[in-house]
């Protein structure tokens, strides 16, 4: 059942009229609140729905709206209510702020603060200078957010760079932790969760084994982020779950390659190894993480050496190649959501993602254009199966071309 009652006192007169129309059309009463927002571009898409940028027409605040199709939840609407329960209760400077929620017959809409400063790694590689001290400031803020969550027996379970955002474009912008879609509240401090969830590459071994996990899975994720933040690449080589579990089995998988780590302190390395202990009970709690001497004072002494050249070498090429593939997946997700959306309203909640000129990826515009061709419906008289097949091949060829153009930068990342 809903966890937040609609705030009728904030509905404008036009909203009152919308409420009346909604009653006639069978829409839930809270759906009238949708008219309070002007929707903008699509920011991302997942299995359940999309995230759109929007503006509150009254306050003029720019916000993010997660739109989820109820039909994709397969009867698990409680997941949405759980997330709403978390968001409405959480108030912390390093956790994205909740604003509102409403629903239609077929969708949920969750409105949150919009972090406009960009994702963690994208922002960092665009900086002119980044040091070990700067990295420690980022990690400290994320750790503060996790301390707040763990203090309420909430496990985030999806701590990764894409969910760590800069609030704005200012140089001293704070960091905020976002996306509580798979977060869980424990019944007690030492309770364990037995359903696997998270993102491969950042999820802890105990999560992937399905043997039960708790707060310390977030500490593992923070360790992976710290390692990657300091050198630009992941501490692990494996590309699938069985190989990863085999790699970390003996607790000696973390290697600090001299080429990329020669200017980074021993205390930073010790900090990372402690967080990436394969045995959860041997990891420090998030409270102990915040008291670690690397975070409290040692990192502050390492503010002279610029780590950006090696970070870019390790991160930039791989991430841009990944973006090309993710664009294909993103467009496919949105297309599927459009097909599943049986709402009889004339909304455009699931709009296609436009091309981006700011990615810096060679061939991106052409790839986006080719992809759009594969999704163009056109008129039945002018669109044949051969034409669709040709367009699909064109998109694939463009993806291969994009990958080839970036191949050398990927191959140049040799982990010595």
Q: What is the pLDDT of residue 43?
A: 85
Residues of the chain with CATH 3.30.200.20: 8-113
**Beta-bridge mates of residue 165:** 119, 176
Confidence band for 360, pLDDT divided at 50, 70 and 90: very low
Share of the chain above pLDDT 70, in %: 69
Tokens of residue 111, six digits: 């409105």
Q: Which one is catalytic: 122, 134, 158, 341?
A: 158
Q: What is the CATH number assigned to the segment(s) 118-306?
A: 1.10.510.10
Return the pLDDT at 83: 76
Instruction: Match domain 8-113 to its CATH number in 3.30.200.20, 2.20.28.120, 1.10.3720.10, 3.90.1150.10.
Output: 3.30.200.20
Cα 336 to Cα 48, 59, 342, 357, 371, distances in angstroms? 10, 34, 12, 25, 14
Residue 361 has pLDDT above 50, yes or no: no
Q: What is the pLDDT of residue 122?
A: 84
- Does the active-site annotation cover 158? yes
- The whole-chain average pLDDT of the chain stands at 79
pTM to 2 decimals?
0.74
State yes or no: pLDDT of 375 exceeds 50: no
Question: 262: annotated binding-site residue?
Answer: no
- Read off the tokens for 337: 């959501």
* Sign of the CA dihedral with 297 first, then 115, 356, and 47 last: positive
**What is the rounded distance in angstroms from the CA atom of residue 103 to the CA atom of residue 28?**
7
Angle in degrees, CA 111, 113, 116, rounded to 5: 125
Q: List all residues 6 or more positions away from 378 whose beta carbon is below 8 Å from its beta carbon.
A: none
Q: Where in the chain is the domain with CATH 1.10.510.10?
A: 118-306
Q: Lowest-pLDDT range, 102-116, 195-209, 344-358?
A: 344-358
Asked if the model's pLDDT at residue 363 lies above 60, the reply is: no
pLDDT, position 301: 92
Sheet containing 164-166: which strands, arranged edge to edge?
118-119, 164-166, 175-177
């Amino acid at each position: 059942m809903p966890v937040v009652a609609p705030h009728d006192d904030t509905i404008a007169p036009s909203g009152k009229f919308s409420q009346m129309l909604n009653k006639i059309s069978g829409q839930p009463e809270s759906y009238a609140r949708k008219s309070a927002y002007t929707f903008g571009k699509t920011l991302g898409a997942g299995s359940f729905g999309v995230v759109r940028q929007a503006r509150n027409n009254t306050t003029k605040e720019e916000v993010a709206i997660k739109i989820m199709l109820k039909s994709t939840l397969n009867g698990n609407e409680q997941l949405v209510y759980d997330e709403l329960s978390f968001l409405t209760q959480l108030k912390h400077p390093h956790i994205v702020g909740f604003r509102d929620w409403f629903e239609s017959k077929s969708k949920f809409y969750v409105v949150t603060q919009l972090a406009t400063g960009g994702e963690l790694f994208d922002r960092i590689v665009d900086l002119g200078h980044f040091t070990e001290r700067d990295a420690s400031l980022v990690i400290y803020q994320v750790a503060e957010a996790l301390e707040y969550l763990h203090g309420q027996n909430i496990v985030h379970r999806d701590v990764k760079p894409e969910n760590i955002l800069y609030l704005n474009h200012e140089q001293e912008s704070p960091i905020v932790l976002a996306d509580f879609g798979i977060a869980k509240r424990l019944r007690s401090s030492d309770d364990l969760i037995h359903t696997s969830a998270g993102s491969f590459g950042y999820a802890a071994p105990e999560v992937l084994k399905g043997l039960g996990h708790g707060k310390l899975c977030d500490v593992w994720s923070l360790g992976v982020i710290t390692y990657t933040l300091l050198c630009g690449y992941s501490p692990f080589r494996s590309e699938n779950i069985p190989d990863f579990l085999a790699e970390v089995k003996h607790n000696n998988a973390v290697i600090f390659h001299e080429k990329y780590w020669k200017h980074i302190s021993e205390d930073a390395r010790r900090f990372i190894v402690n967080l990436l202990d394969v045995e959860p009970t041997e990891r420090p709690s998030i409270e102990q993480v915040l008291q670690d001497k690397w975070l409290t004072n040692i990192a502050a002494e390492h503010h002279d050496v610029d780590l950006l050249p090696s970070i870019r070498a390790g991160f930039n090429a791989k991430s841009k190649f990944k973006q090309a593939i993710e664009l294909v997946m993103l467009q496919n997700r949105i297309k599927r959501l459009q097909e599943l959306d049986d709402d009889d309203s004339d909304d455009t909640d699931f709009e296609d993602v436009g091309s981006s000129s700011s990615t810096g990826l060679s061939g991106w515009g052409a790839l986006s254009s080719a992809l759009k061709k594969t999704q163009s419906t056109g008129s039945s008289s002018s669109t044949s199966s051969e034409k669709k097949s040709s367009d699909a091949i064109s998109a694939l060829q463009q993806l291969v071309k994009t990958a080839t153009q970036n191949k050398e930068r990927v191959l140049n990342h040799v982990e010595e």
